[in-house]
Amino acid sequence: MLRSKTCGELRLSDANTTVTLAGWVQTIRDKGGVLWIDLRDRYGITQLLLEDGQTAPELFTTARSLGREFVVQATGTVIERKSKNPNIPTGDIELKVTELTVLNPAKLPPFLIDDDTDGGDDLRMKYRYLDLRRNPVRRNLELRHRMAQQTRVYMDGQGFIEVETPVLIKSTPEGARDFVVPSRMNPGEFYALPQSPQTFKQLLMVSGFDRYYQIVKCFRDEDLRADRQPEFTQIDCEMSFVEQEDVLNMFEGLVRHLFKSVKGIDLAEVPRMTYADAMKFYGSDKPDTRFEMKFVELKGTFDTVDLTSGKGFGVFDSAELVVGINVPGCAHYTRKQIDELTDWVKRPQIGAKGLIYVRYNEDRTLKSSVDKFYSEEDLQKWAVQFGAKPGDLMLIVSGDSAKARKQLNELRLEMGTRLGLRDPNVFSTLWVLDFPLLEYGEEEARWFAMHHPFTSPKPEDIALLDKEEMLGMVRANAYDLVINGTEVGGGSIRIFNRDLQARMFSLLGFSDEEAKAQFGFLMDAFEYGAPPHGGLAFGFDRLCSLFGGSDSIRDFIAFPKNNSGRDVMIDSPSAIANKQLDELKIATTVPTK
């Protein structure tokens, strides 16, 4: 080895030993008679010392030729430091250098390799290998590694077997857009990259594998919203002979194991909420339950309450839903602050027409922006409905039910942020259950599977599949795990009966021929003894970023793509040579570079 110790491990107890270190030059401080070099590797930083009269002059010459990020090897004696640095674990010692070798010089890096860097996003992505030298980025990947290791420990301990499924598969029309790969040997035909190993894991259940998992790359060619990656990693799981309850318990166990082993946190039991309640109380199927501020209806769609109609306020009279949140302790908000919030909800991204407020003053008087229409007595009734206390501020939106809920969800999250209630180091978990099986796509004028076409309806709701007008009411045995308002996992109990699966495809608008062509293999398999089965998948990148207390999954991926789906470091995607296109029998449409 070119080193005997790492730059992170020497302590006072190592004093007077001779060691060899190797690493990158972080900084050089040259005081003439004394010269210090901070040498860095993955494990830490160790200070090297060169001293006039003690160190050979040629070592000074070598040291003065060094620049930032040179790769060097240094041998010397560990000594106690005169002025110690309590901020780093090696701060009690330094290395009195007796040999210094440049292993490789380096060009000046385009940005500071430091915890706080001066490099912008684009530059750091172009030189990602340098960005990865920085502590915060390296720590993220170390966290990811531990998460993967501990996932394997738990899954293996529960008897799950890791099976690799193919990456070159078949394009299917459901779900997101596929990435496709042309087949040279089958001109004009294409593979697709898997959006998930869904059908393969189900086939493994038919094969009797019973408990499968895989930490697996998946690919979706979606328009990239902030913080989506075209390729991402899932912890993909499937089990046989289980009901929903078994799957929930098994994977609550995994999440609990990860919190304990990676973060030292004892997770409380994961609470459960139906999809219907999540929509009613939070206007979202992934509510952030780190804080309360549940929705309260004044003119309901879930409740039959109406505390607003008939007082001459046309906006509320014509609204399908009048709904609000009670913001504790914010009655002191000034007119200016409320105007600013109103502007915030009126931005096109949120799309509210306006915002009504009621201040519940400390002196128990009520002041609202609709005083013209509602008496103090009316407002008192609202306050009771809201469960408001003196000092609270009620914020109310109205309109079309689905839209108003969506807008209020955004406002609730914003108020949570403003009030400091969304601490990334506090974790609030939630199972959301009983998702609808189908959702209607107005544009396409057809039903879509809310989770995917293999999800089983609840047995008690199967009869509703016969009634077109009831389709939206059919509930599925489908579940999501939500942490801090982010969906980190989701799955379902599957259909394992050929007829029901065929029925599902036909509800989704497949003809029998199309269903057979796309998913015949699965339906055939169901005729050879398919066991009842179910499972789920966790978004691994997202889980890592949550554990790391960050909003950005990119920070937890070694070589991520940017918001346009590009890898700016290797410059991909890129054109390919005409010769390759010819081989693939693909017409040349793009000029090659």
Contact footprint for ligand ASP (CB under 6 A): 196, 198, 490-492, 535-537
Smallest distance from ligand ASP to CB 537, Å = 4
Cβ–Cβ under 8 Å, residues 163 and 204: yes
Which CB atom, from 233 or from 398, has the smaller least distance to ligand ASP? 233
Largest CA distance in the chain: 95
Backbone angles phi, psi at 550, to 5 degrees: -125, 155
Which residue, 204 or 341, is less far from ligand ASP as judged by CB? 204
- Looking at the Cβ atoms of 124 and 201, the one nearer to ligand ASP is 201
Q: What is the DSSP string of 72-136?
A: EEEEEEEEE-SS--TTSTTTTEEEEEEEEEEEE--PPPSS--SSS----HHHHHHTHHHHTTSHH
Taking the least distance from each CB to ligand ASP, the nearer of 49 and 205 is 205
Instruction: Please report, for residues 12, 505, 565, the alpha-carbon distance to residue 174 in angstroms, rounded to integers and kept in the order given.
Output: 63, 10, 22
Q: How near is the Cβ of 480 to ligand ASP at its closest, in Å? A: 9
Query: Which CB, 280 or 451, lies closer to ligand ASP?
Result: 451
Amino acid at position 78, single letter: V
* Closest by CA position to 156, among listed 270, 254, 243: 254
The beta-strand segments (E) located in 161-255 are 161-162, 180-182, 190-192, 211-219, 231-240
Q: Concatenate the DSSP letters of all residues of 268-286 into one string.
A: PPPPEEEHHHHHHHHSSSS
- 133 vs 494, beta carbon nearer ligand ASP: 494
Which neighbouring-strand residues pair with 99?
Answer: 75
CB atoms within 10 A of CB 318: 10
Tokens linked to 88: 């780093």
User: Could you give the CA distance from residue 325 to residue 291 in angstroms, rounded to a whole number?
Assistant: 12
Query: Residue 288 to residues 4, 168, 197, 284, 558: CA-CA distances in angstroms?
Result: 49, 37, 29, 9, 28
Going by the DSSP 8-state scheme, the letter that residue 469 receives in this structure is G
Least Cβ distance, residue 491 to ligand ASP (angstroms): 4
Could you tell me the two tokens for 134?
């920085």
In the complex, the smallest distance separating the C-beta of residue 488 from ligand ASP, rounded to whole angstroms, is 11
* Least distance in angstroms from the C-beta of 459 to ligand ASP: 18
Q: C-beta of 212: minimal distance to ligand ASP in Å?
A: 11
Smallest distance, ligand ASP to C-beta of residue 450, A: 11
* Cβ nearer to ligand ASP, comparing 251 with 357: 251
User: Residue 121 Cβ, how far from ligand ASP at the closest point, in Å?
Assistant: 28
CB of 241 to ligand ASP, least distance (A): 17
Q: Which is nearer to ligand ASP, 44 or 491 (CB)?
A: 491
Helix, strand counts (H, E) of the chain: 15, 22
Between residues 173 and 312, which has the closer beta carbon with respect to ligand ASP?
Answer: 173
